[in-house]
Structure 1
Amino acid sequence: MTQTQKIIIDTDPGQDDAVAILLALASPELDVLAVTAVAGNVPLVLTHTNARKICELAGRRDVPVYAGCDRPLARDLVTAEYIHGVSGLDGISLPEPQMPLSEGDGVDVIINHVMNEPAGTVSLCVLGPLTNIATALRRAPQIADRVKQIVLMGGAYFEVGNVTPAAEFNIYVDPEAAQAVFQSGIRIVVLPLDVTHKALTTPARVARFREMAGGAENRARLGRGQPSIGEVVASWIDFFERFDVEKYGAEGAPLHDPCVIAYLLAPELFKGREVNVEIEVDSPLTRGMTVADWWRVTGREANALFLRDVDADAFFDLLVTRIGRL
């Protein structure tokens, strides 16, 4: 019997964050201890609101959502409404959440869970900028020896940048936080653009979500005449796909953040190598660049599993099968 993995989802929803959260909540192998919101794709007040909307859509009001950091460690916040819309979840509108924002600081929640659970049992699943995680390490450096792993979506090597010529958005927003995390000694698994740009939302794949009936409880909960969970997911994909298809000239948009959760559920779908990754924080041209020593030419010790390939068909099979259970 597969042992349940304890995870904390740190996120800045974002449509692809939303799909990742749904995948986690639909998977019994994962025990979601908390969702901690961070400013990123949109400001914090929207990311924690969106996180609660997603939990309610999945019928999981039992999962506590906390607000974390509202700005990067050392820079002004950069957001991405031009991709995700003014709400961060543009597409089919979801009702305002009824579940309250949980009391307490999301950073302290991360620290408390890591310290109170047995050492080496809590994985941090990071779908946005690394501000909350770096702040937790500043407040309580001892958690570095207790975190099982950090699995994050961020960075790039072969695909270079998506917000600047050199940098991927999540790392670019708070490179100082990323630098602190990559220097922490915690085991890190990186799902960069090199992987996510191979997980494209083709028309056939999006159609599978749109045709999804969803679980009986979900249909009853959403009510007659309301869109199914599959239609909601398809509308999210349609919205942000409009930007990426034009940008990359591909047949679909990259579905970034669900790769983090998929790795936890089925690591065999991904391939990469252990390399050293450093974060550029000074250069105005390459700020936020993930300098991945893919060819191992520096002699620096590996500090991350940097993934490069994914079985895209199996990845989408997993998404549709699991989310279809909600």
Structure 2
Amino acid sequence: MNLTRMIIDCDPGLDDALALLLAHADPSVVIEAVTTVGGNVALADTTRNALELREYLGFTDVPVAAGAAGPLEGEVRNAAEVHGSGGLGSVVLPAAALPLDERDAVTLIIDLLRSNPGEIDLVAIGPLTNIALALRAEPRVAQWAKSFVIMGGSYTRGNTTPAAEFNIYADPAAAAEVFAADWQVVMVGLDLTLQARVTGAIKDRMLELGTLGSELVVPLSTFWADPLDPDWGGQAVHDVCAIAYVTHPELFRSTPARVDVETQGVFTAGMTVTNFRSPNPNAIVPTELDVDGFWDMVLAHYSAAAQAH
């Protein structure tokens, strides 16, 4: 079996927790580190959630390091109205006993990539502050990462403002620096992730997972519903799609594009301006998901984790 080594930079978060579960449950994935950033909720909460998930799910040998509490510039924003005040909706996990890594997130990311050039996939599923700070401290991070995949952005419309998706909107300056770096960004954005919704049929399959399903997966997957959408089709598992892209790219149809981040617009700050016709692409943008194949893969790994839990 070819192993995929992965650093996951995250802000747990409902779908971050589900993404961590997928990475842990997939036997082809080795989680090298989990780093946290302020985003969906405050850094103290995202870090507590990462520590508790590490022990609840059982990847206890993986270092967890805390990173940036807020953006490079501007005000701190969160999405507690979506994820709940603590970040995991109605889920309450046992308190963690194992400590944080002594290094901060940026140092841990740099250390791991420097020691393993070309071998570790870097996956960022929160605001991109830690990644921008890592690039500032050591630009060779862009060459050392085997690949760089984000959940963030959109090539049509946003979810936090009409123009901007939350992870980019939370730190547009960091996102602009990250997209301008010397690497190819895989932008798994809203247009793709909204295809991965937890419908009633998917919820029923999740409930077959037993205790893991009823205590963790279903509550995380169904906590939020859009009160302004009369045709609500279910909560999307945005961050899970970024993990799936690394391990199962065949489930995605993707297109090269030039992506630049708007940092100055009064109404468009955080917009990922995506040009599919650019002669100078800096990104790969997944646009179409094999929905049935995606859920079959995810739920098969969740089922294996449930049996081992």
What interval of TM-score do these two structures reach, taking the shorter chain for normalisation? Answer: over 0.9
Whole-Å separation in 1 of the counterparts to 2:188 and 2:294: 13
Does the CA-based 8 Å contact 1:57-1:229 persist in structure 2? no
1:63, distance to aligned residue in structure 2 (A): 1.3
Partner of 1:43: 42
Distance 1:54 1:324 in 2: 17
Paired residues, number: 304
Aligned counterpart, 2:223: 239
Match of 1:31 in 2: 30
Q: Which runs of 5+ in 1 are unaligned?
A: 214-227
Counterpart position of 1:292: 274
Whether the 8 Å contact between 1:280 and 1:291 is mirrored in structure 2 is: yes
Counterpart-to-counterpart distance in 1, 2:144 and 2:238: 27
- 1:54-73 Cα distance to aligned partner (Å, 9 max, x none): 12221111111110111100
SS at match of 1:257: helix
Matches within 5 A, 1:277-316: 277-294=259-276, 296=277, 299-316=278-295
> 1:84 aligned to 2:83?
yes
Residue in 2 that maps onto 1:230: 213
Percent of aligned positions with the same letter in both sequences?
41
Q: Tell me if structure 1 keeps the 8 A contact 2:56–2:94.
A: no
Partner of 1:32, secondary structure, is strand
Q: Counterpart of 2:142 in structure 1: which amino acid? A: A
On the 8 A contact 1:153/1:190 being kept in 2, the answer is yes
1:11 Cα deviation from its structure 2 partner: 0.1
Q: Identify the residue that residue 137 of structure 2 maps to in structure 1.
A: 139
Q: Distance in 1 between matches of 2:242 and 2:6?
A: 11
Distance in 1 of aligned mates of 2:173 and 2:102: 27
Instruction: Report if the CA contact (8 A) 1:89-1:236 is conserved.
Output: yes
One-letter identity of the residue aligned with 2:43 = L
Q: Distance in 1 between matches of 2:72 and 2:165?
A: 18
Q: How many Å separate the matches in 2 of 1:266 and 1:182?
A: 23
Q: Deviation per CA, 1:90-128, whole angstroms, max 9, x where unpaired? A: 2232121122222111110000001011x2112111110
Check if 1:58 corresponds to 2:40: no
Decide whether the 8 Å contact of 1:196 with 1:256 is kept in 2.
yes
CA distance, structure 2, for counterparts of residue 28 and residue 74 of structure 1: 39
1:154 equivalent in alignment to 2:152: yes
The question of whether the paired residues in 1 share the 8 Å contact of 2:254 and 2:284 is answered with yes
Q: Where do 5+ consecutive residues of structure 2 fail to align?
A: none
Distance 2:234 2:240 in 1: 15
Residue 148 of structure 1 contacts residue 187 of structure 1 at CA under 8 Å; is this kept in 2? Answer: no
- Bigger CA drift: 141-150 or 17-26? 141-150
TM-score by length of 2: 0.95
TM-score by length of 1: 0.90
Alignment partner of 1:324: what SS? helix
**1:217 match:** none
Partner of residue 216, structure 1: none
After the TM superposition, which segments of 4 or more aligned residues of structure 1 sit over 2 Å from their partners?
A: 244-250
Deviations 1:26-52 (A, max 9, x none): 112111110000000001011011011
2:124 corresponds to which residue? 126
**Alignment-mate amino acid for residue 313 of structure 1:** D
Give 2:53's aligned amino acid: I
The separation in 2 between residues aligned to 1:143 and 1:114, in whole angstroms, is 7
1:269 maps to: 251
Alignment of 1:97-246 (within 5 A): 97-117=96-116, 119-158=117-156, 160-213=157-210, 228-231=211-214, 232-240=216-224, 242=225, 244=226, 246=228
- SS in structure 2 opposite 1:325? helix
SS state of the match for residue 304, structure 2? coil
Q: CA 1:38–1:96 in 2, change beyond 3 Å: closer, same or farther? A: same
Equivalent pair of 2:113/2:145 in contact (CA under 8 Å): yes
2:271 alignment partner AA: M
In 2, the alpha carbon distance for the partners of 1:103 and 1:325 equals 32
Cα-Cα RMSD: 1.3
CA 1:211 to 1:65, structure 2 compared with 1: closer, same or farther past 3 Å? Answer: same
Q: What letter corresponds to residue 213 of structure 2 in structure 1?
A: G
Superposed displacement of residue 250, structure 1: 2.6
